[in-house]
């Protein structure tokens, strides 16, 4: 589309007219953006959980695991897409691999921090009751590590929503696609609308995880403990943030 808005022509940042005319397209990209985010975070979590458990059980491997995920985290998304595109082609797969590799570090680190933060007395009590390692892990340690894991999931989800937009370089950036096209055709409403939708999506997904976590951790709902858990989660959050 050529430049429709020249000098002196009205080019508002927000316009309902844009939504009325291109609502279908906006919705399509929003769906792509959301599904890509959820898929990436779920796959990353499925990889991060065993990695974190292995890193904790076999201390010799924790260095390499954190090192590799750290390198994947440091490599910029654009460079990663440049490295992947020659082999995985243009499109969804490349973006998905990039997003998963980026979310790994945050999740692995937060799961490890969570597992390490479990009260030693609780673990000892479970051992005294005759719990074996696997059962101890799934019924005692992991549930107690949930606040930190949830903090990691929230951080990973919010950053992934923002990162999807970079997929525009391989032609699959969800709402980023609209931002980029809006820039090329100097269509401000398109840029502003997709930006606001990105922020809203991050907010909604974050809220969804919080609500899900409240439902999954009924013991955190009461006053005194909640404050403590929150402090714990905040600490894990800060640790993950500072590791960036």
Partner 1 sequence: MSTVGDAWDYLTDPVSWTGENGLFGTNFDGSLRFQRDSILALTLEHLYMSAAAVGIAAAIALPLGLWLGHLRRGGGVTTVIANVSRAMPTLALLTLFAASAIGFGNRAVIIAAAIFAFPPILTNAFTGMAGVDADVRDAAFGQGMTRRQVALHVELPLAVPLIAAGLRTSVTQTIATVPLAALVGGGGLGVIIVTALATQRYGEALAGGILVAALCLGIDFGLSRLQRRVTPAPLRSRATVAA
Question: What residue ranges bind partner 1 (CB under 8 A)?
Answer: 71, 74-87, 90, 155, 158-159, 161-166, 168-170, 173, 176, 179-180, 182-183, 186, 188, 191-192, 194-195, 198-199, 202-203, 206, 238-239, 241-244
Toward partner 1, which CB reaches closer, 48 or 163? 163
State the nearest-atom distance from the C-beta of 238 to partner 1, in Å.
8
33, 196 contact by CB (below 8 A): no
CB atoms within 10 A of CB 219: 11
State the nearest-atom distance from the C-beta of 127 to partner 1, in Å.
27
State the nearest-atom distance from the C-beta of 68 to partner 1, in Å.
12
CA separation for the pair 17, 97 (Å, rounded)? 36
189, 179 contact by CB (below 8 A): no
Toward partner 1, which CB reaches closer, 173 or 220? 173
State the nearest-atom distance from the C-beta of 243 to partner 1, in Å.
7
R_g of the chain computed on alpha carbons: 21
State the nearest-atom distance from the C-beta of 138 to partner 1, in Å.
27
Terminal CA-to-CA distance of the chain, rounded, Å?
A: 40
Toward partner 1, which CB reaches closer, 28 or 206? 206
Q: C-alpha 25: how far from its chain's center?
A: 24
Toward partner 1, which CB reaches closer, 47 or 83? 83
State the nearest-atom distance from the C-beta of 183 to partner 1, in Å.
4
Tell me which DSSP letter residue 53 carries: H
Toward partner 1, which CB reaches closer, 144 or 165? 165
Toward partner 1, which CB reaches closer, 96 or 163? 163
Inter-CA distances, 215 with 105, 138, 174, 219, 221, Å: 26, 18, 30, 9, 9
Total H helices, total E strands in the chain:
10, 0
Q: Where are the alpha helices (DSSP H) in 58-174?
A: 59-74, 77-88, 92-116, 120-128, 133-136, 142-164
């Amino acid at each position: 589309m050529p430049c429709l808005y020249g000098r002196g022509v009205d080019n508002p940042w927000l316009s309902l007219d844009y939504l009325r005319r291109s609502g279908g397209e906006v919705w399509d990209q929003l769906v792509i953006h959301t599904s890509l985010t959820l898929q990436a975070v779920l796959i990353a979590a499925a990889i991060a959980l065993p990695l974190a458990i292995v890193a904790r059980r076999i201390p010799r491997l924790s260095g390499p695991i954190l090192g590799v995920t750290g390198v994947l985290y440091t490599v910029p998304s654009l460079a990663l897409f440049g490295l992947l595109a020659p082999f995985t082609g243009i499109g969804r797969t490349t973006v998905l691999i990039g997003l998963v590799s980026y979310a790994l570090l945050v999740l692995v680190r937060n799961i490890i921090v969570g597992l390490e933060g479990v009260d030693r007395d609780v673990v000892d009590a479970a051992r005294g009751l005759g719990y074996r390692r696997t059962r101890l892990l799934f019924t005692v340690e992991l549930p107690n590590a949930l606040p930190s894991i949830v903090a990691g999931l929230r951080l990973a989800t919010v950053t992934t929503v923002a990162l999807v937009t970079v997929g525009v370089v391989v032609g699959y950036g969800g709402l980023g696609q609209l931002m980029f096209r809006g820039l090329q055709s100097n269509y401000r409403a398109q840029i502003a609308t997709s930006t606001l939708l990105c922020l809203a999506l991050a907010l909604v997904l974050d809220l969804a995880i919080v609500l899900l976590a409240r439902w999954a951790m009924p013991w955190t709902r009461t006053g005194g403990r909640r404050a403590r858990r929150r402090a714990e989660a905040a600490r894990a959050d800060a640790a993950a943030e500072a590791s960036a």
